[in-house]
Homo-oligomer: A and B are copies of this chain.
Amino acid sequence: MIVGIIGLGLIGGSMALDLKRRGFAATVLGVENDPVHAAAAGKMELVDEVVPMEECLDRSDIVVLAVPVGTAVKMLPGILDRFQTGGGSKIVLDTCSTKGRICRQVRYHPLRSRYVATHPMAGTEYSGPWAAMTGLFDGRACIFADSEESDPQALAAVERLYDVLNMRPIYMNADNHDVHTAYVSHISHVTSFALALTVLDKERDEKHIFDLASGGFSSTVRLAKSNADMWVPILTQNRDNVLQVIDTYIEKMNQFRKAIAEGDEARIRTLIDQANRIKKILR
């Protein structure tokens, strides 16, 4: 099996490593637009060959689209077009963090069924080929969105791919996916960005930030290191869901603000006790 990976960043690079190492792919081809990233990926031997897009599409059995979601939405129709001229037995999957828009983009494409929409829920706050690592996906959840739109054989092949990566499959419709990830994943990033901005704004003495950043602050602000290329399209594509969650979040902050301003200890205690319920869910 030849796997082609478009985008050799954290996700694409990590997939390349494990799919090759674990024998799923005999050959891994990579496509990378950024010349520095491409050179690094070559040097780090993330893939067997870095090739031009067309060559990758023509030689690969499965194509993994691992680019920011704005780019993926633009590229996917062209990839399916190229599959059409090639006979239509190839498979393309994407790994993007929003699913509604990309699924709508190709809903009526004649080769829609050769596309499998997935979201492997794994990552770190780092990006680029140098962030790629083996084992990144082990034990994490992978969402298959609108899987009934994919050809059963194509779906089965992609399920095998994620099985090799040790991911737990979860099936969901694309719009539900975007609602749930807004609640659980996207809002965490926004709150983390806002926290970093607040601290950078208020605390002009960087030495103090470093000294006082006990484990608590570092872990809460960790996601604020995530890059704009990935997150601008996620936040704009999932706009309505993200705005709803931000509104609820600001409401909760205001409840805290009011209770603290009024010195209402009982109310602060109730809010914290309620927040503590998250313990039961996350182990």
Contacts and interface: CB of A to CB of B under 8 A. Distances in A.
B268 A228 contact: yes
B253 A196 contact: no
A248 B211 contact: no
A216 B193 CA distance: 12
A interface majority secondary structure:
helix
Nearest to A250: B253
A203 B183 contact: yes
Given A261-B243, A271-B193, A276-B227, A199 B187 contact: yes
Interface residues of A, number: 91
A92 B199 CA distance: 33
Given A242-B260, A246-B257, A260-B239, A220 B218 contact: no
A101 interface: no
A90 B236 CA distance: 62
Nearest to A202: B183
A85 interface: no
B212 A223 contact: no
A189 interface: yes
Interface in A191-239: 191-203, 206, 208-228, 231-232, 235-236, 239
Interface of A: 121-125, 140-141, 143, 168, 170, 180-181, 183-185, 187-203, 206, 208-228, 231-232, 235-236, 239, 242-250, 252-257, 260-261, 263, 265, 268-269, 271-279, 281-282
Contact of A278 (B224, B249, B257, B281): B224
Contact of A263 (B208, B219, B239, B275): B239
A195 B253 CA distance: 9
A101 to B, nearest CB: 13
Contacts of A218: 282
11 contacts: A123-B215, A180-B208, A183-B203, A183-B212, A187-B199, A193-B275, A196-B275, A219-B222, A236-B265, A242-B260, A243-B261
Contact of A211 (B170, B219, B275): B170
Given A188-B195, A208-B180, A221-B188, A232 B281 contact: no
A225 B278 contact: yes
Given A219-B219, A225-B279, A242-B260, 11 more contacts: A121-B212, A124-B215, A168-B211, A180-B203, A183-B209, A196-B278, A198-B245, A210-B282, A219-B223, A225-B278, A250-B254
